[in-house]
Amino acid sequence: MSVGSGQSVLIVDDSPVMRQMLYKLFQNQGFNVVGQACDGEEALTLFEELKPELTTLDIVMPKLRGTEVLEKLMEKYPDSKIIMASSVSDARTVMHCLKIGAKQYIIKPYDEEKVMSAVRKALDIA
Amino acid sequence: MSVTDENLAELFEQYKDEVRETIETLDNELVVLEQDPSSSETIFSLFRHMHSLKGSSKMFNVDNIATIAHRLEDLMSMIDKNNSILNKYPKIVDLLFKGNDIFRDIIARLEDDIGYTSMTGDHLNFIAEIQAQIDKINRRDSQLVDSARKLLDDLENLLPAMEEMDIEALKKDITEVTTGLALATLEEDGANQIRFNFNGADLTDSVHTMEDLLAKFKDGKATEEDAKNFVDAANTLYGLLAEVATEDAMSLIAELGDGLTLFSERNLEMDQMMVEFFGSMLSELKEKFQVEVEVPITKVSQTTKSSAVAKEPQVKTIRVDEAKIDLFLESVGRLITKSEILNHLQFSFRKAGVDIGLLRDFSTVSRTISNDIVNLQRSIMEVRQVEMNNILKKFPRLVRDISHKIGKEAEMNIVGERVPIDKSLLDDVEQAMVHIVRNAVDHGLETPDERVAAGKPKRGNVNITVTQEEAAIFIEVADDGRGLDLEKIKAKAVERGAITPEQQLTMPDKEAEMLVFSSGLSTKDQATDLSGRGVGMDVVMTNLKKWNGEVIINNKPGQGLSVGLRLPVTNTLLTKEAIMLRVGKSTFCLPLEFVNEIVTVPKEDVHHHKEGAVFRHRDMVISVINLKALLGLPDVDEPTSDDGEPRIKDDGALDTHGSLVFIILRGKTDTRQSILADEILGQQKIVIKEFELETFRKLPYFNGLTLLGDGRVVLILDSDKLLES
């Protein structure tokens, strides 16, 4: 049984190989990856365009950091389901993101189980 | 990892590619950083790349890279917060370069040994080196704190002397500064976890100001103005130190508590790492009480905003095994041979009296197929093309390393990164360029002192320019160094027995310049371990010859040297247009690129001398290579096809009655030579096959063979070897 049922997903990460990995993972689990952004600015543009049901957001990226992307998105679309997926493990960053509205925060390295567990919780999938 | 293993294996190749790319980027950014240590854009980018490298390496369980990148990320983060660190410790750049070399080595080893992911002794030593550097930076700051503390002790002793001034305010400042210092000193112990947040340079400045002013106070020479300045400096010092310890640490603990609540509310994945992190952080805080951990995210983000990093074009790509493409090409090669058969069939049909309409249709179809195949071949060749950048990105680092090693200053500029080049050329071109660039820095550029004495800027230039010409790629490496000293080169060549003393006197400059490409010549009196002893340049030449490359030297003594490589694009194609010629009973082919002109000359206009025959053509004396004599063929002129095989003869074949046919060769020298042919059979596409047997490779005047449409095997004449004969 796959976790997803066609929900649209936007993947944001500056590393192509990380994007590819998440892409495969989501596609395998029945999600529909509708877009991939490689920096913060592209993330905002693609989010506006695609209005994904779920977004995974890296933090350290060119142009605009994930935390800033999160701030902007939460301000405009407070109901967005955003999972931070980063190797930043600094407690303050983690808290900051959760406080301003990220649903979940997973720290690299993550595996399929960890990602899907976070996805379930973020989307309230039983 | 429960991302399926197949997935990981598949992505692992991609991971390695990504790391390789990152390594190149890091190399180039480090070169930039070295030239401009204050470039916050570069510093942040380096930090970001280390961070990404750490992240993806963790995902793929490449622990060694992940660990090293992590520590270098810490180091970059310190520098990002305080640019002046690099000015104080320029050796950090070397450390970063070394790290990059270690990454490169790990990735290379992973090719053969997928398990090469744990830390080796070397890696641990390197980590210790990074740690030592980090400690040094921290210690330096704590030394500052120490000296500030001493200063304040002095200050307290001096207080009575300052009674007339605004003592109350000053006292207050001093108390606060002392508190700040106490906290700052505490940080020293937790240097690994806790990072300094103040600007060391500003701190030094204010401490120096205060020291100077204190000296005046001691001597009793201080004025009202001095006192004011002193208070200002004290305020600055306080402000700087306050950054280290503003917030009550207890509030941080409270915040952490909030965080933990938030975590449990959200039912967050409390993985091992998170628990450990919070656990250690809390115990640390309790143990050391009031010390705050501050990661200045705001500063980093501002840098991000202002640095408009050019967006890399996103190219949709698929990965194809190179061997597969070669296989395609081979199949296309066979198709070309087949389409030549179709061409031949036309002649047979015509001979057999086939209906002219049918013949025309057949000929149209055959031509279309032939065109399609050529187009197909071209497309596949394009697939094999990569951008010059693949080679070029290595050079800034190379130039940097060499110039450092020998105490020179060099700047590298590159133009033409996007020019496409066939992948098969890549290795040889890179090798050649490495030699040339090395020589440019090692032999070409003068030392900074020599340059200044010669009225040149201290820092030398090495520029690489790649341009795409119609049927060739032109790569130029130009330096503004001393140029070639031809007399010295010739003298050395005589010494090494490469040329005779007579040649030394008569040799034209253009030929002398080419001597640098012969083996065993090194004009620098002291051979260095960089340029070696001149071994290699000859290898470069041999490799380039394989691709019909041409070397163009432009020497301006005292001003610089430019070495150009021109590589014909067509030479990477496996098929060539060639002239088919008959000599006696034998058929040979000669690639069109070696043919300058085909002329017919009346027999009586050919003059025979002892050395051989010559004729005049357009006011030039052209000597004749007699293939029959050269190859030991019987001296007869018998047409082929006695066996009824279709003759390859285009309508354009030359009528040779009463005249002799000469193929004038395209030579690299001014002397003109030609081949005497009994008959030109035509022109056609051939698929070149290199000799596979060693015995054939030793054939003196041929460099391969081709299969004709009718199944005959024909040898391909090697124009270079003929010209040398």
B167-205 pLDDT tens trace = 444 444 444 444 444 444 444 433 323 333 334 445 445
Residue B128 covered by a domain: no
Q: Within this chain, do residues B338 and B439 fall inside the same structural domain, yes or no?
A: no
Residue B459 covered by a domain: yes
pLDDT at B713 over 90: no
pLDDT at B498 over 60: yes
Residue B475 covered by a domain: yes
pLDDT at B503 over 90: no
Phi and psi of B243, rounded to 5°?
Answer: -60, -30
Q: Taking the CB of residue B227, how many other CB atoms lie within 10 A of it?
A: 19
Q: Which residues pair with B621 in a beta bridge?
A: B616
Cis, bond preceding B508 (omega within 30 deg of 0): no
Inter-chain contact B273–A89, Cβ cutoff 8 Å?
A: yes
Q: What is the pLDDT of residues B631-652, one digit of tens each?
A: 877 776 655 444 434 344 444 3
- Residue B541 belongs to domain with CATH number: 3.30.565.10
Predicted pLDDT at B296: 26
Predicted pLDDT at B393: 85
Determine which of A87, A110, A111, A125 to mutate to test the interface with B (most B C-beta atoms within 10 Å): A87
Q: Please give the residue that has the higher pLDDT: either B42 or B670.
A: B42
Residue A1 covered by a domain: no
Residues of A in contact with B1 (CB under 8 A): 109, 111-112
Residue A79 covered by a domain: yes
**Final residue of a domain: which of B541, B570, B599?**
B570
What does the alpha-carbon distance between residue B86 and residue B69 come to, in Å, rounded to a whole number? 18
DSSP B134-187: HHHHHHHHHHHHHHHHHHHHHHHHHGGGGTTS-HHHHHHHHHHHHHHHHHHHHH
Q: Within this chain, do residues B549 and B611 fall inside the same structural domain, yes or no?
A: no
The residue behind tokens 């390594």 is B23
Angle between helices B121-158 and B167-189 (to 10 degrees): 160
**Final residue of a domain: which of B360, B379, B398?**
B379
Kindly tell me the sign of the dihedral angle through the C-alpha atoms of B574, B577, B583, B585.
Answer: positive
Amino acid residing at B77: S
Across the range B312-331, mean pLDDT stands at 64
pLDDT at A118 over 70: yes
Total domains in chain A come to: 1
Q: Taking the CB of residue B340, how many other CB atoms lie within 10 A of it?
A: 22
Residue A3 covered by a domain: no
Inter-chain contact A90–B295, Cβ cutoff 8 Å?
A: yes
Inter-chain contact B297–A67, Cβ cutoff 8 Å?
A: yes
> What's chain A's Rg over C-alpha atoms?
13
Question: What percentage of chain B carries pLDDT values higher than 90?
Answer: 13
- Closest residue in chain A to residue B8, using alpha carbons only: A21
Q: Please give the residue that has the higher pLDDT: either B462 or B183.
A: B462
Total domains in chain B come to: 5
Contact B186, B288 (CB under 8 A): yes
Residue A37 C-alpha, separation from nearest chain B C-alpha, in angstroms: 11
Q: Within this chain, do residues B95 and B187 fall inside the same structural domain, yes or no?
A: no
Q: Taking the CB of residue B26, how many other CB atoms lie within 10 A of it?
A: 24
Q: Within this chain, do residues B592 and B520 fall inside the same structural domain, yes or no?
A: no
Inter-chain contact A92–B295, Cβ cutoff 8 Å?
A: yes
Across the range B96-123, mean pLDDT stands at 90
Least confident of A9-18, A29-38, B374-383: B374-383
Least confident of B478-482, B552-556, B712-716: B712-716
The segment with the largest mean pLDDT, out of A12-26, B186-200, B602-616, B684-698, is A12-26
Let me know the angle formed at the C-alpha of B23 by B19 and B24, rounded to the nearest 5 degrees: 120
Residue B45 C-alpha, separation from nearest chain A C-alpha, in angstroms: 8
Q: Within this chain, do residues B607 and B719 fall inside the same structural domain, yes or no?
A: yes
Residue B525 C-alpha, separation from nearest chain A C-alpha, in angstroms: 49
Tell me the helices (H) and strands (E) count for chain B, helix number first: 25, 18
Across the range B590-613, mean pLDDT stands at 83
Inter-chain contact A95–B255, Cβ cutoff 8 Å?
A: yes
Residues of B in contact with A110 (CB under 8 A): 59
Inter-chain contact A64–B61, Cβ cutoff 8 Å?
A: no
Residues of A in contact with B58 (CB under 8 A): 87, 108-109
A49: pLDDT confidence band, cut at 50, 70 and 90? very high
Q: Within this chain, do residues B474 and B351 fall inside the same structural domain, yes or no?
A: no
The residue behind tokens 């066939």 is B422
Residue B620 covered by a domain: yes
Q: Within this chain, do residues B565 and B583 fall inside the same structural domain, yes or no?
A: no
Contact B675, B627 (CB under 8 A): yes
Residue B293 covered by a domain: no
Least confident of A33-37, B419-423, B669-673: B669-673
Inter-chain contact B59–A62, Cβ cutoff 8 Å?
A: no
Q: Within this chain, do residues B211 and B348 fall inside the same structural domain, yes or no?
A: no
Burial of B279 (0-12, 13-18, 19+ CB in 10 A): exposed
Residues of A in contact with B61 (CB under 8 A): 109
Q: What is the pLDDT of residues B527-583, one digit of tens each?
A: 444 444 344 667 777 777 777 788 888 999 889 999 999 887 754 456 678 888 888
Across the range B120-136, mean pLDDT stands at 87
Inter-chain contact B11–A20, Cβ cutoff 8 Å?
A: yes
Q: In this structure, what DSSP letter does residue B443 have?
A: I
What does the alpha-carbon distance between residue B290 and residue B183 come to, in Å, rounded to a whole number? 7
Mean pLDDT of chain B: 72
Q: Within this chain, do residues B482 and B619 fall inside the same structural domain, yes or no?
A: no
Question: What is the SS3 string spanning B351-390?
Answer: HCCCCHHHHHHHHHHHHHHHHHHHHHHHHHHHHCEEECHH
Q: Within this chain, do residues B561 and B682 fall inside the same structural domain, yes or no?
A: no
Residues of B in contact with A43 (CB under 8 A): none
Q: What is the span of the domain harbouring residue A26? A: 8-123
The segment with the largest mean pLDDT, out of B270-274, B294-298, B314-318, B662-666, is B662-666
**Could you tell me which of A9, A96, A13 has the C-alpha nearest to residue A55?**
A9
Q: Is the ipTM of this complex over 0.85?
A: no
Across the range A31-47, mean pLDDT stands at 95
Contact B716, B589 (CB under 8 A): yes
Phi and psi of A2, rounded to 5°?
Answer: -85, 155
Phi and psi of B162, rounded to 5°?
Answer: -110, 20
Q: In this structure, what DSSP letter does residue B475 have?
A: E
Q: Within this chain, do residues B347 and B418 fall inside the same structural domain, yes or no?
A: no
- Closest residue in chain A to residue B261, using alpha carbons only: A95
By Cβ distance, the residue of A17, A18, A65 closest to B301 is: A65
pTM of the model: 0.50
By Cβ distance, the residue of B56, B295, B304 closest to A17 is: B56
Predicted pLDDT at B85: 85
Chain centre to alpha carbon of residue B699:
38
Residue B655 covered by a domain: yes
Predicted pLDDT at B26: 93
What does the alpha-carbon distance between residue B380 and residue B574 come to, in Å, rounded to a whole number? 12
Least confident of A92-101, B243-252, B368-377: B243-252
Q: What is the pLDDT of residues A52-77, one digit of tens each?
A: 999 999 999 988 999 999 999 999 99
Dihedral in degrees, nearest 10, Cα atoms B272, B274, B277, B283: -90
Q: What is the span of the domain harbouring residue B399? A: 386-570
Do the bridges between strand B385-387 and strand B410-415 make them parallel or antiparallel, or are there none, so unpaired? unpaired
Q: Please give the residue that has the higher pLDDT: either B223 or B26.
A: B26
Q: In this structure, what DSSP letter does residue A25 have?
A: H
**Final residue of a domain: which of B379, B403, B420?**
B379
Amino acid residing at B18: E
- Residue A32 belongs to domain with CATH number: 3.40.50.2300
Residue A93 covered by a domain: yes
Q: Within this chain, do residues B114 and B193 fall inside the same structural domain, yes or no?
A: no
Inter-chain contact B58–A108, Cβ cutoff 8 Å?
A: yes
Predicted pLDDT at B644: 39
Do the bridges between strand A82-86 and strand B385-387 make them parallel or antiparallel, or are there none, so unpaired? unpaired
Residue A2 covered by a domain: no
Predicted pLDDT at B152: 52
